Amino acid sequence: MNVPSGISLDQAPPIWVPLRFFITAPLFALTAALLLLWAGPELFSSRWDPAMLGITHLLTLGFMGLVMLGAILQMLPVVAGTPVRRPALVAAIVHVLATSGIILLGSGLILTAPLALQIALPTLGTALLLFATLVVVTLRRSLPQNMTARAMRLAALMLAATVLLGLTLLSNHAFGWWLQARERLADLHLTWGLLGWVGLLIAGVAYQVVPMFQLTPAYPARLTRWLAPVLFILLLALAPARHLPVLWSTLKILLAAGFAVFALTTLWLQTKRRRKQPDVFMYFWRCSMLSLLSAITLWLAAQIAPAIGGMRGYGMLLGVLMIVGFAMSIMNGMLYKIVPFLVWFHLQSRRGATGPAVPNVREIMPESRTRRQMWLHFAALAALLAAIVFPSPFVYPSALLFGASNLWLWLNIVAASRTYSRVDALLGKASTSAG
Amino acid sequence: MTTISEFLAPDHKRCDDLFAATEALVASGDWDGAAEGFSRFQEALQHHFAMEVEVMFPAFEARTGMTQGPTAVMRSEHRQMSDLLNQMSGALARKDGDAYLGDADTLLIIMQQHNVKEEQMLYRMADRALANELEEVVGRMRAMT
């Protein structure tokens, strides 16, 4: 029998394994904001516009994808109970391939450059499929009662399915062959990506971190046992159900209900928290759950009144609520817990019993800075939503706010990494002079 | 008959509650209340460690022969938490709220991960390994007040 020890150094991967992903991610969101600034209100005309697709992928793959990859590489040994072999090498391969693939994909779509897309195809495909395989295989060793591991594994399977669909669509853009089912595949690709890969992963991680950081009661056992597998099966069933309208709508309504249950349970648990100190982490989660519920409500309204679904900007509103509101908010909040803790933990472990004092997590990531960045993110979200409905007055302010928020997030992460390097050098000096 | 899980897991919750209450007092600047709250929290946590280190871990190690396994990891985490408790006690004496809350944030993460590992792994393993002597082991821990 083996006990997972998330907190002993021989199990935790080197700090740069997750950090290299976290430092790169906000730069992609910043680039997306600059592109929005450059393209102006035109961009919001259609979500199928190649430039819009490019920008969307800078957010979903560039920001969200990299944050999730880094966080999972950090968490895998804890969740699975055994370390990943050669973590620094795995991280380097996945990070370099994914980052160059995302740059190629983004520029290929935005500049309509088929050659860039043709190179992006094997690059991104290798990085993401390699990663999905690593997660599925590693988590085989996790304990059956570990519901986070289970959800994470299902999410990784959804990642693989999303990537395979994405590669098919990408090859269509890159080589210009005739793909009859393009729109249907694209629909499935974004549903599996956002609800399957991102949604299931967030649910699985929430089971651990919401009770842990706010001292809320645990999620109900029935929910953690059934929610992820049921959502997974519903998502899979969408593929063959396309031609059966009744089944198709039933599946979608059940999916919406499942995610609504998750969001409402999370908000309800937070009201029962025993730790009354409100912090940025909690506000980010709240914003995320409210965005998810708003997206579900908007979608439901469109099912009841098709005129709403036909409105200009309907799909974009759902996209911004799910991507910027639901996913990016949580990841932003999680980064503010993960990064300072990792810096503290690695420094503390190096320090040993004696040696210079190590700064605490609030000194590494001061709340005054994270709180202001959080308000900027909320303002950016509101402005982006407004820009979809009223493009001309809101597009430029929303791009500026979104860019500023991500630049600030990046600066906060870089500052924490520099604190690590600085104190690490001090510790090195202290240990050589002591030895 | 009470199992080790049934006896020790609720004690985690008791420590969490004392932790949260003290943190709120520090945040509100009630230093007298915080000092009292902290000493109760520290006492509760150290008492919990003592029950494990003096009674449960040795019994488990004697039965299973695993001295370098899970209990060694738990002991080293106890040390990390004790170090943080000392720093928090110092911060409280200096009435340095930021230092206290910063260390408290760190302690909470370690404490919660530690609790999850104990509740999901070690206590269950111990309940199986010590099935024939549960009454005696739990009785000895209960006697430690």
Q: A35-45 pLDDT, tens per residue?
A: 999 988 888 77
Q: To the nearest 10°, the Cα dihedral for A186, A192, A195, A201? A: -140
Contact by Cβ (8 Å): A147, A225: yes
| A221 close to B (CB below 8 A) | no
Q: How far apart are CA B65 and CA A187, in angstroms?
A: 56
Contact present, B124 and B108 (Cβ < 8 Å): no
- Amino acid identity of residue A363, one-letter, is E
Highest-confidence segment of A73-77, A102-106, A309-313: A102-106
Please answer yes or no on whether B69 and A1 come within 8 Å at the CB atom. yes
Task: Output the CA angle A293-A318-A195, nearest 5 degrees.
Answer: 70
Query: What percent of chain A stands above pLDDT 70?
Result: 96
Minimum CA–CA partner of A9 in chain B: B73
- pLDDT, tens digit (0-9, with 9 covering 90-100), for B56-83: 999 999 999 988 888 998 998 999 899 9
Least confident of A250-264, A379-393, B21-35, B66-80: B66-80
| CB count in 10 Å sphere of residue A10 | 8
Collapse the DSSP code of A12 into the 3-class scheme (helix H, G, I; strand E, B; otherwise coil) and give the result.
Answer: coil
**Pick from A6, A208, A360: which is nearest to B106 by CB?**
A360
pLDDT reported for residue A182: 87
Domain span including residue A34: 16-423
Burial (CB < 10 A; 0-12, 13-18, 19+), residue A166, is buried
Inside any domain, residue A261 = yes
Q: Which two tokens stand for residue A155?
A: 């999410």
Q: Between residues 230 and 289 of chain A, which touch chain B (CB distance below 8 Å)?
A: 274-277
pLDDT, position A336:
97
In which band, very low, low, confident or very high, does the pLDDT at A4 lie, cut at 50, 70 and 90?
very low
CA-wise closest residue to A420 among A315, A350, A370? A350
Task: Tell me the CA end-to-end span of chain B in Å, nearest whole number.
Answer: 20
Give me the pLDDT at residue A344, please. 92
pLDDT score of A42? 81
Whole-complex ipTM: 0.84
**Distance from the A160 Cα atom to the nearest Cα atom in chain B, whole angstroms:** 30
Is A169 among the domain residues?
A: yes
Give CA–CA dist A212/B108, Å, rounded: 8
Contact list, A337 vs chain B (CB under 8 Å): 109
CATH number, domain of A329, equals 1.20.210.10
A74 touches chain B (CB under 8 A): no
Q: Does residue A433 lie within any of the structural domains?
A: no
- Cβ distance A224 to B120 under 8 Å? no
A11 lies in some domain? no
Residues from chain A that touch B108, judged by Cβ atoms under 8 A, are 212-213, 215, 275
What is the per-residue burial (b if ≥16 Cβ within 10 Å, else e) of B112-138? Answer: bbbbbbbebbbbbbbeebbeeebeebb
CB atoms A3 and B73 under 8 Å: yes
Q: Quick check: A186 pLDDT over 50?
A: yes
Contact flag B73-A143 (C-beta cutoff 8 Å): no
Kindly report the nearest CA distance between residue B54 and chain A, in angstroms: 21
pLDDT band, residue A434 (cuts 50/70/90): low
Closest Cα in chain B, distance from residue A279 (Å): 11
Mean pLDDT of chain B: 93
pLDDT averaged over chain A?
92
Residue A292, pLDDT score: 98
> pLDDT digit string (tens) for A161-170?
999 999 999 9
Q: How many domains would you assign to chain A?
A: 1
> What are the tens digits of pLDDT across the range A328-387?
999 999 999 999 999 998 998 887 767 778 899 999 999 999 999 999 999 999 999 999
Distance (Å, whole) CA A99 – CA A274: 41
Evaluate if residue A325 carries a pLDDT over 80. yes
Does residue B120 carry a pLDDT above 90? Answer: no
Cβ neighbours around A147 below 10 Å, total: 22
Q: Contact, B63 vs B71, CB < 8 A?
A: no
Residue A411 in any domain: the answer is: yes
Of A192-206, A327-341, A410-424, B68-82, minimum mean pLDDT range: B68-82
Query: What pLDDT was estimated at residue A136?
Result: 93
Q: For A25-40, b where at least 16 C-beta lie within 10 A, e where not — what string? A: bbbbbbbbbbbbbebe
- Note whether residue A3 is domain-resident: no
Our CA dihedral for A35, A38, A41, A42, rounded to 10 degrees, sits at -90
CA pair distance A215, B23, nearest whole angstrom: 12
Residue A176 inside a domain? The answer is yes
- Which CATH entry fits the domain spanning B4-143: 1.10.150.120, 1.25.40.10, 1.10.287.1080, 1.20.120.520? 1.20.120.520
- pLDDT score of A5 more than 50: no
pLDDT of residue A144: 79
Predicted local distance difference test score (pLDDT) of residue A353: 66
Query: Does residue A214 form part of some domain?
Result: yes
- The per-residue pLDDT for A6 is 39
